[in-house]
Amino acid sequence: GGDVEIGRLRLSMVECRVFIDADPVELSPREFAILECLMLRHGRVVSKRQLLESVDGWESGMSENAVELYVHRVRKKIELSGSGIQTLRGFGYLLQVDEPS
């Protein structure tokens, strides 16, 4: 349980929701799974395969191309938080936080 806070993003493990400051981010279950995976591995590169496995818990048959689509959607939904998802070609994705200057 508990919360994971990264920059202005807060992941509530209890509610299975993500917030920017106090505002909930509207995420589909798959989008949540992807963001949760990235937040729990903050500072580490997460491969498409790892993201696929985090989402694939409840539905198999999702392609790596679909992962790109979901990452793209999540990226747009969290851009207001000042955090971003960096794509490292051939490696995977990295959740980055803009540290307040």
Q: Are 20 and 80 in contact (CB under 8 A)?
A: yes
Higher pLDDT, 98 or 70: 70
pTM here is 0.90
| Euclidean distance between the first and the last CA atom of the chain, given in angstroms as a whole number | 31
Give yes or no for residue 87 having a pLDDT over 90: yes
% of residues, the chain, pLDDT over 70: 92
Residue 9 scores a pLDDT above 90: yes
User: Among all chains, which residue has been given the structure tokens 């981010």?
Assistant: 25
Mean local confidence (pLDDT), 88-101: 85
